[in-house]
């Protein structure tokens, strides 16, 4: 399986409020090759998370197009967007996004279940993924009983539960210490090789961004290519 190719053309997104409108993305263009690791940096409020939402089909583009592996998300219905997320995308959030009432294995298993895997096979896959991220001994721990780094690794395991072709990570190391950051980043960087997926990483940490094959900077609604390593 190969990663998903991403093509964004003229993407514009505006938030309306009583105090007026705020355009956070203003004609953004982005092309990511399949299997690449791409970092997007920017100041707080620059629109990084909005761009990630649009790339991950969490929101529908207002203007412009987002085409991932030939799927134009701007024309998809709510159910089609949900199907797309379920089949194609894996998310890693800064706040981990784990359900505190479920164990690590149940959190990952839930994503397996949602992607259509039966309960028993889902549990087996969840255990294999948690084992792969070094959490074999933490299967039955709930998130409050895990460290920040462990929670983020559970989140990565969950992101891989549906065997996604595109992994989107929103500030994945924002709440982690240095050691945990290194471990999580190593994991994310290994995904294209180990799981054949494209990784798009949003961060405000320029050192982390520098490790990516391509690094973009989002400012004043525009996406600027900062560096390309290959």
Q: How far is the CB of 180 from another protein (least distance, A)?
A: 20
List binders of another protein among 171-230 (CB under 8 A). Answer: none
* Angle made by CA atoms 33, 39, 44, in degrees to the nearest 5: 140
Q: Binding to another protein by residue 158, rule CB under 8 A?
A: yes
Tokens (6 digits) for 4: 């998903």
**Cβ-based nearer residue to another protein, 137 or 144:** 144
Contact between residue 203 and residue 209 where contact means Cβ atoms under 8 Å apart: yes
* Interacting span for another protein (CB under 8 A) from 86-94, 190-198, 212-220, 222-230: 86-94
**Cβ-based nearer residue to another protein, 58 or 227:** 58
**Cβ-based nearer residue to another protein, 87 or 132:** 87
Q: How far is the CB of 229 from another protein (least distance, A)?
A: 27
Tokens (6 digits) for 205: 């940490």
Contact between residue 51 and residue 219 where contact means Cβ atoms under 8 Å apart: no
Q: How far is the CB of 174 from another protein (least distance, A)?
A: 12
Q: Would you list the DSSP string of 85-140? A: HHHHEEEE-TT----TTS-HHHHHHHHHHHTT--HHHHHHHHHHHHHHTT-GGGTT
Q: How far is the CB of 92 from another protein (least distance, A)?
A: 10
- Using only C-alpha atoms, the chain has a radius of gyration, in whole angstroms, of 17
d(CA 155, CA 144): 13
User: Which residues on neighbouring strands pair with residue 67, listed in sequence order?
Assistant: 7, 72
List binders of another protein among 91-120 (CB under 8 A). Answer: 91, 93, 95, 97-102, 106, 110-111, 113-115, 119
Q: Determine the 3-state secondary structure of 176 from DSSP.
A: coil
List binders of another protein among 52-71 (CB under 8 A). Answer: 52-53, 56-59
**Cβ-based nearer residue to another protein, 88 or 181:** 88
Q: Which residues bind another protein (CB under 8 A)?
A: 49-50, 52-53, 56-59, 78-79, 81-83, 85-87, 89, 91, 93, 95, 97-102, 106, 110-111, 113-115, 119, 158, 161-162, 170
């Amino acid at each position: 399986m190969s990663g998903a190719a991403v093509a964004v053309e003229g993407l514009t997104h505006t938030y309306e409020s009583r105090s007026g409108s705020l355009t956070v993305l203003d004609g953004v263009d982005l092309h990511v090759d399949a299997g690449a690791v791409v970092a997007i940096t920017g100041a707080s409020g620059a629109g990084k998370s909005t761009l990630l939402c649009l790339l991950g089909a969490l929101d529908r583009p207002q203007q412009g197009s987002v085409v991932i592996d030939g799927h134009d998300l701007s024309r998809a219905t709510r159910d089609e967007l949900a199907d797309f997320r379920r089949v194609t995308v894996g998310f890693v959030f800064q706040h981990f996004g784990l359900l505190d009432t479920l164990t690590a294995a149940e959190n990952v298993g839930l994503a397996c279940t949602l992607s259509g895997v039966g309960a028993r096979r889902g549990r087996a896959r969840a255990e294999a993924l948690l084992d792969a991220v070094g959490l074999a001994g933490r299967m039955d721990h709930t998130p409050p009983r895990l460290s920040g780094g462990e929670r983020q690794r559970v989140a990565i395991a969950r992101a891989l539960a549906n065997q996604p072709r595109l992994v989107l990570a929103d500030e994945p190391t924002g709440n982690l210490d240095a050691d945990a950051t290194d471990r999580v980043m190593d994991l994310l960087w290994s995904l294209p090789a180990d799981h054949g997926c494209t990784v798009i990483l949003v961060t405000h940490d320029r050192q982390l961004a520098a490790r990516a094959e391509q690094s973009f900077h989002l400012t004043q609604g525009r996406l600027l290519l900062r560096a390309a390593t290959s």
